[in-house]
Structure 1
Amino acid sequence: MKKIALLLIVILFSFTANAQELTWHTDMAKASELSIKEKKPMLLFFTGSDWCGWCIRLQKEVLQTPEFEKWAKENVVLVELDFPRRTPQDETIKAQNYQMQNMFQVRGYPTIWFVSPEKTDEGKMNLKGLGSTGYVAGGPTKWLDGASKIVANK
């Protein structure tokens, strides 16, 4: 009986932990609509998730911290634009990511662009660049200070 109760508690906590995690979108169209609806800029994270050492370091030191999670929920819609080497990726997502890479002239990883989407009268989506950053040494506080200054440009 104790094992069943313990198992139920573990399952309950795992659901609670998952419910609090950040949502990283991969579909630009859906993320843009959400950004407009919530009146928040988008954070576009250009990464090589399975090979880029600096990307992995940025994830561990900033993007996976409680400070970033709190800041992101209040300030931005998160979008991951991944360029993996070993992990399979849907062709539609791959094409979208390369289009975004070309649009923002991303030449290295990690690169983070903050953008504000705007819908035109014709129903097309324009992305207004607010600024960009990458890996910043100094942990989440220093990175978030720079990101907050960029987001303030909206």
Structure 2
Amino acid sequence: MIKKLLLLILFLGSITFQAQNLVWKTSMDAAITASNDENKPMLIFFTSSSAPNNLQNEVFKTPDFAVWSRDNVILVKLDLSDANASDVDKEQNVKLKNAFGVEDLPEVCFANASIRKSKTTFQALGKLGYKPGGAKAWISESDAILHPSE
């Protein structure tokens, strides 16, 4: 009985550990390369230090999201209040926020991108903000955006 309990605790601990250690790219160039290499769309998370944390706490920090994101998207976090970001990156992030029509933070945009002749072209797939209901409901809405025909 004790062995089973220890195995369960180890298993649940590893899932929680994975959920808290998601790899968020902060460079769009790196994200686009990874997106194209892995043939997955980007989940671009627009946020700032003053934005509510409910999306992060109730969705992004869950084991369900960790598993889903690993299999379905390239995670990109664009913090519009990041003091460590270069002026070029700050300007780029604001331009992307405006191009995707993001008004309220935090908000997620799903997109594909390609680079040809040093010009980046984005294909917006959809947007999603925080909605009550937890990770499973948020993932279901995300799947509807990413796979509309299913």
TM above 0.5, yes or no, is: yes
List structure 1 runs of 4+ shifted beyond 4 angstroms: none
For residue 72 of structure 1, what is the aligned residue in structure 2? 69
Question: C-alpha deviations, 1:34-79, integer Å up to 9, x for none?
Answer: 100000000011111x2112xx111000011110000000000011
Q: 2:137 aligns with which of 135, 142, 145?
A: 142
For residue 5 of structure 1, what is the aligned residue in structure 2? none
Q: Where in structure 1 are there 5+ consecutive unaligned residues?
A: 1-12
Q: 1:104 aligns with which of 76, 100, 107?
A: 100
Superposed CA RMSD in Å reads 2.2
Secondary structure of residue in 2 paired with 1:116: strand
Secondary structure of residue in 2 paired with 1:46: strand
Counting matched residue pairs gives: 133
Aligned-pair identity (%): 35
Contact map agreement 1:113 1:130 (CA 8 A) in 2: yes
Question: C-alpha deviations, 1:93-123, integer Å up to 9, x for none?
Answer: 2112111112112111111110011233x24
How many Å separate the matches in 2 of 1:147 and 1:24?
Answer: 17
Deviation of 1:153 (Å): 4.6
For residue 43 of structure 1, what is the aligned residue in structure 2? 43
Secondary structure of residue in 2 paired with 1:74: helix
For residue 124 of structure 2, what is the aligned residue in structure 1? 129
How many Å separate the matches in 2 of 1:145 and 1:23?
Answer: 21
How many Å separate the matches in 2 of 1:153 and 1:114?
Answer: 13
